[in-house]
Structure 1
Amino acid sequence: MLHLKSIKTAFVVIMATSLLSACSNTDKATPSVQPANASKTLNETGMPIVKQPITLRMMAGQSPLQGEWKDKLLWKEAEKRTGIHIDWNLVPQASLEEKKNLLLATNDIPDAFYGGGINSQDMITYGQQGLFIPLNDLIDKYAPNFSKILKANPEVLKGITAPDGKIYGLPKMSSNITHRIGTKMFINQKWLDEAGKKMPATTDELYDVLKAFKTKDPDRIPLSSTDINNTLRSLAGAWGLYSRGNANAYVDYDDKAGAMRFMQTDPKYKELLTYMNKLYAEGLLDKEIFTNNATILTAKISKGLVGGFSNINVVPAGQLKANYAGLGAALKGPSGDQNWGGISPVLQNQGAFVITKNNKEPEATMRWADYFLDGEGAVLYWMGVEGKTFEMKDGKYRFVQDIVNNKDGLTLDQTISRELVSPFSVHPIVREERFAWDTGEGMPEVIAAANNLKPFVPKEIWPAFLFTKEENDRLKALSNDIQTYVGEMQTQFIMGKAPFSKWDEYVATIKKMGLDEYMKIHKDAYDRYKRN
């Protein structure tokens, strides 16, 4: 059996040996695809993918903006190039989880799930049951674009390899650092100038700036966000938290102790909450931050009330976006910590695309999915067709004016969604900087903000870990209690409804909920990840 032969680094050669060993122990339980038996309709290279047209059935989540897919320019052009027609079973995002679970339970499954709500637990559970086929061999022979990505990003291969050594899904990925630094803090530069303050570089300076904003006008909201966790992640690195990025919301690595830790019981987390409680108590943090959303934040900014906010970009500021600038560097904390943990890994979602046992053309299906990962296929997915939906300007991919400045007042997401499906999707693609110039991450002030923070992101960034079925079952039970309680107490501590004298009681309660077992499961998954 071959496993990703195109990857020649010594690291991956070792890993491939591990995969071979794991596969030899599981082949009886899980059917394997043999590329040598590829369909006679397949063209192994070039376009079209098949010698005569075929139809594949795929289930996909549907954004409210997108409408019907079959008539979109993207899929019409893709069918013309590849020879593959897709019969889409579209399910509204709001009901995707329920519909997906129903199909899997009744075995009434399509040929593939394309952004069909398959999470990592589904991927492993149904992969081991044989409903989803392993992709190792198919990737090796029919996915040159994905193989190239794996060679450049070995952590992606580590992150998608299941505990049994199989690969059951193609992931969604991002190579755009401005997108991956999904949490940034923007400060009103006009207000800074009025107050005679410089851009804050430490948490103490941030407090002084916010205090100056409030002193100028008590009706002002010095610091806000769409939700409390955006603000928390913007500050956490100043206390050394999220030391391996934010894909795992509760565990990171304590470099001083040399061990994995549960962040929400660490003394540093207590210090962070104490700081946030101070901001909240003095009216420097939006009192409605626990119930805010993007629409509410935009309304507050448009009224000239907001001094700073945390978000992936400055889109919520609307016409006032030019007033806001990103931090000059990651904030330095009281003990000298200075990292920016609000960054996601290249690997964003492991189960963006899975092929099912019902698929009679798995080789052609893999070639179809791989087409959109690079080259002309990636351009088609993200931008559409030149002269119709995009044009080249100064060597950059730019949407046509009817999309970026629609005469009917449609938003950018609405106009893109008329012919494409990229907004609000979880598909097996790579989000690249070259396709982002007309998005929120393409704004000059947002790119500048990301570049300022880039030197402070962790050197090692973890993906979300993959767990065995047994581990997932236990984690589901443990997480329900632990993570719910942590969320409730986070709110209570910040709002001052729970005094910090209760901290030891809080930590003891989490331990009684099974924290040791919770951490052992995560450590086992981390150890497997390191071995891959």
Structure 2
Amino acid sequence: MKKRIVTLMAASLLLSSFVAGCTSKPNSTPSDGGTAAPGTSSPANQTATYPMKTDQKLSYWATLQGNLVGVKSSLDEVPFFQDWQKKTGVTLKYTTAPNNGNEQQFNVMLASGDLPDMIEYNWTNGYPGGPEKAIKDGYILKLNDLIDKYAPNLKKYLKEHPEIDKMVKTDNGSYYVFPFIRGDSYLQVFHGPIVRKDWLDDLGLPVPTTIDEWYTTLKAFKEKKGASAPISFVGQPNPLNDTVTGDFVGAFGVTNGFYLDNGKIKYGPMEQGFKDFLATFRKWYAEGLIDKNLATTDMKAIDANFANGMTGATVGNAGGGIGRWQPIVAGKDPKAVLIGTTYPTLKKGDTPQFGQLDVPFTPSGSVAISAKSKNAELAVKMLDYGYSEEGKTFFNFGTEGVSYTMDNGNPRYTDLVMKNPDKLAVAQAMALYARGGYTGPFIQDKRYAEQYFALQTQRDAVTAWQKTDMVKHQLPPVTPTPDESTEFAKIMNDMNTLVNEMILKIVLGAEPVESFDKYAEKMKAMKIDRALEIQQAALDRYNKR
């Protein structure tokens, strides 16, 4: 569920990963008055029976999910995507975009004018001008009528969940994707700091909770455990990419993006707290406590760091992080144990203000229907499968008798997933046969996570990461107007480049910490105040939906 034409901080979209309590008037009427919103009565409503009987074929564009990288090279080879066709009765022609650089292939596809029937992409903040502009430009369809007539499962869910209905449409009331929906609040937190508990025990150190304790820990990892990269972070596509969720930077009262502070929207990289964060990480880097390859480290590099005992800490997910790296460190040392820690603070005992928290609707993995599609009705019926009871089970658990069996009414993953004979990590095996572990056009089931987090350390990590006040700071998935979005994209494309430059130059020691003030002034010259105005206007409209 993390390189886009424009990056609206995760928190401003999802960011959500935390507005479960907001409500709205359901099924507001679109401003053009020409289409009915889901939830209104329609005599043309048609319920599909799966598998459908059709000779028509559809085309589908999507990115290869991270846990499939190195396992399969295209969606055609993935059992889940093969079985999805059997379940729905629709033959699909897949186009697979690379996990890194998918936005480039996306742009080439749009420029060519040769569009598939369905496009799985983050249309909310991945298209300049946003979803309303994508509709106006003739790339994707406004789905209100189609959902109302041919998607009874999604229509029913949105009618019963007005707070989510509010999230999945634009301010004008346009439905533009078949959304990925987290079906339980338990699923909204899954990421945070990770450390080797066995090393802490060997060194007689407590689990670090403050920045000072983390410094002591990392210094000991280097000096007494011989770790050449005591803590390592993914550096691609952006350096310290996870700081958007508050990893370490949150201790200084900011994030690397937009957030709410007592109801006022702020931009973290220009705040004093960000300067303090950079000063701290500059010191750590200079002392060899942070991976020297900060700018280029990817997941494979972190795998190698853990395998070779070079790294003792990082940030990551419970499933694709701890679940991925625990067998790697255990392969080197059977006593090795990875655990999740609370988000660090400056003062002992304080509650972390920031941390990862996903909103129920995550734009990533949602699917739009191309305006060029000649089979939009069939595409809608196929996509609606993911919101049926049968489809929900299939997306979360895969095919019965293969990747799961029923146990007292509950689907249980088989050893093919949990103890894969090819020695694949659970996250990798699951990604082959189901989509419970990542985004897509369906409703995620809590029961997937209860098994996905097979290790007690994973479940404990989620509990630790939940202990934040992020709900006070999170922006909901706002949608700027097309004009605002275009302007915002232009500002933030340049802003993100500048912030990434500032992070690297200051942390790596190429520029002094004092140059932060110069960068902050440059942000103002590059119209960050206007970007804040756009965000505030979008938030005000969202609250009125």
The amino acid that maps onto 1:47 is T
Kept in 1: contact 2:285–2:507 (CA 8 A) = yes
User: How big is the shift at 1:517?
Assistant: 1.8
Identify the residue that residue 491 of structure 1 maps to in structure 2: 504
Which of 406, 411, 422 is equivalent to 1:397?
411
Kept in 1: contact 2:72–2:78 (CA 8 A) = no
Task: For residue 295 of structure 1, give the secondary structure of its aligned residue in structure 2.
Answer: helix
Hey, what's the Cα distance between the residues in 1 that align with 2:22 and 2:516? 47
Q: RMSD between aligned alpha carbons?
A: 3.7
Task: For residue 366 of structure 2, give the secondary structure of its aligned residue in structure 1.
Answer: strand
Change (3 A) 1:408 1:166: closer
- The superposition leaves residues 201-226 of structure 1 with CA deviations (integer Å, 9 ceiling, x where unpaired) of 22222223333333424555432233
Identify the residue that residue 61 of structure 1 maps to in structure 2: 62
Kept in 1: contact 2:59–2:118 (CA 8 A) = yes
Identify the residue that residue 501 of structure 1 maps to in structure 2: 514
Identify the residue that residue 274 of structure 1 maps to in structure 2: 279
Moved more, 450-459 or 351-360: 351-360
Hey, what's the Cα distance between the residues in 1 that align with 2:198 and 2:78? 44
Task: For residue 159 of structure 1, give the secondary structure of its aligned residue in structure 2.
Answer: coil
1:111 aligns with 2:117: yes
The amino acid that maps onto 1:486 is V
Task: For residue 482 of structure 1, give the secondary structure of its aligned residue in structure 2.
Answer: helix
Identify the residue that residue 330 of structure 1 maps to in structure 2: 343
Identify the residue that residue 379 of structure 1 maps to in structure 2: 393
Task: For residue 310 of structure 2, give the secondary structure of its aligned residue in structure 1.
Answer: coil
Identify the residue that residue 90 of structure 1 maps to in structure 2: 95
Hey, what's the Cα distance between the residues in 2 that align with 1:508 and 1:325? 40
Kept in 2: contact 1:223–1:286 (CA 8 A) = yes
Higher gyration radius (CA):
1
Change (3 A) 1:395 1:197: farther
Change (3 A) 1:56 1:266: same
The amino acid that maps onto 1:189 is K
Identify the residue that residue 318 of structure 1 maps to in structure 2: 327
Change (3 A) 1:413 1:423: farther
1:136 aligns with 2:150: no
Identify the residue that residue 447 of structure 1 maps to in structure 2: 459
User: How big is the shift at 1:491?
Assistant: 1.5
Kept in 2: contact 1:225–1:292 (CA 8 A) = yes
Q: Tell me the matched-pair count.
A: 500
Hey, what's the Cα distance between the residues in 2 that align with 1:69 and 1:301? 29
Kept in 2: contact 1:115–1:425 (CA 8 A) = no
1:253 aligns with 2:260: yes
Hey, what's the Cα distance between the residues in 2 that align with 1:101 and 1:316? 34
Identify the residue that residue 297 of structure 2 maps to in structure 1: 292
Identify the residue that residue 380 of structure 2 maps to in structure 1: 366
Change (3 A) 1:304 1:296: same
Kept in 2: contact 1:97–1:117 (CA 8 A) = no
The amino acid that maps onto 1:250 is G
The amino acid that maps onto 1:57 is L
The amino acid that maps onto 2:415 is Q
The amino acid that maps onto 1:169 is V
- The superposition leaves residues 36-90 of structure 1 with CA deviations (integer Å, 9 ceiling, x where unpaired) of 574xxxx83362475x5352423222536456666876566555554x4233242
- The superposition leaves residues 482-529 of structure 1 with CA deviations (integer Å, 9 ceiling, x where unpaired) of 211111111122223222222322211111112222222222222222
Identify the residue that residue 495 of structure 2 maps to in structure 1: 482
Hey, what's the Cα distance between the residues in 2 that align with 1:57 and 1:265? 47
Change (3 A) 1:144 1:280: same
User: TM-score, length-normalised on structure 2?
Assistant: 0.79
Task: For residue 160 of structure 1, give the secondary structure of its aligned residue in structure 2.
Answer: coil
- The superposition leaves residues 116-169 of structure 1 with CA deviations (integer Å, 9 ceiling, x where unpaired) of 989454632231245433223444454454345545754533333224331111
Identify the residue that residue 355 of structure 1 maps to in structure 2: 369
- The superposition leaves residues 81-130 of structure 1 with CA deviations (integer Å, 9 ceiling, x where unpaired) of 54x42332423336754554455445544433345989454632231245
Query: Which structure 2 residue ranges, 5 or more long, are not aligned?
Result: 1-20, 331-335
Change (3 A) 1:458 1:146: farther
Change (3 A) 1:205 1:140: same
Identify the residue that residue 3 of structure 1 maps to in structure 2: none
Identify the residue that residue 512 of structure 1 maps to in structure 2: 525
Moved more, 394-403 or 441-450: 394-403
The amino acid that maps onto 1:479 is M
The amino acid that maps onto 2:32 is C
- The superposition leaves residues 167-204 of structure 1 with CA deviations (integer Å, 9 ceiling, x where unpaired) of 11122233466764343112222222222222122222
Identify the residue that residue 164 of structure 2 maps to in structure 1: 156
Kept in 2: contact 1:241–1:341 (CA 8 A) = no
Task: For residue 355 of structure 2, give the secondary structure of its aligned residue in structure 1.
Answer: coil
Change (3 A) 1:152 1:254: farther
Identical aligned pairs, as a percentage? 23
Q: Aligned runs of 1:78-227 on 2, under 5 Å? A: 78=84, 82=88, 84-93=89-98, 97=103, 100-105=106-111, 107-114=113-120, 119-121=126-128, 123-140=131-148, 142-147=150-155, 149-150=157-158, 154-175=162-183, 180-217=188-225, 219-227=227-235
Identify the residue that residue 46 of structure 2 maps to in structure 1: 44
Kept in 2: contact 1:253–1:260 (CA 8 A) = yes
Change (3 A) 1:350 1:323: closer
Hey, what's the Cα distance between the residues in 2 that align with 1:297 and 1:362? 43
Hey, what's the Cα distance between the residues in 1 that align with 2:354 and 2:409? 32
User: How big is the shift at 1:349?
Assistant: 1.3
Change (3 A) 1:59 1:99: farther
Change (3 A) 1:337 1:238: farther
Query: Which structure 1 residue ranges, 5 or more long, are not aligned?
Result: 1-8, 243-248
1:341 aligns with 2:343: no
The amino acid that maps onto 2:359 is P
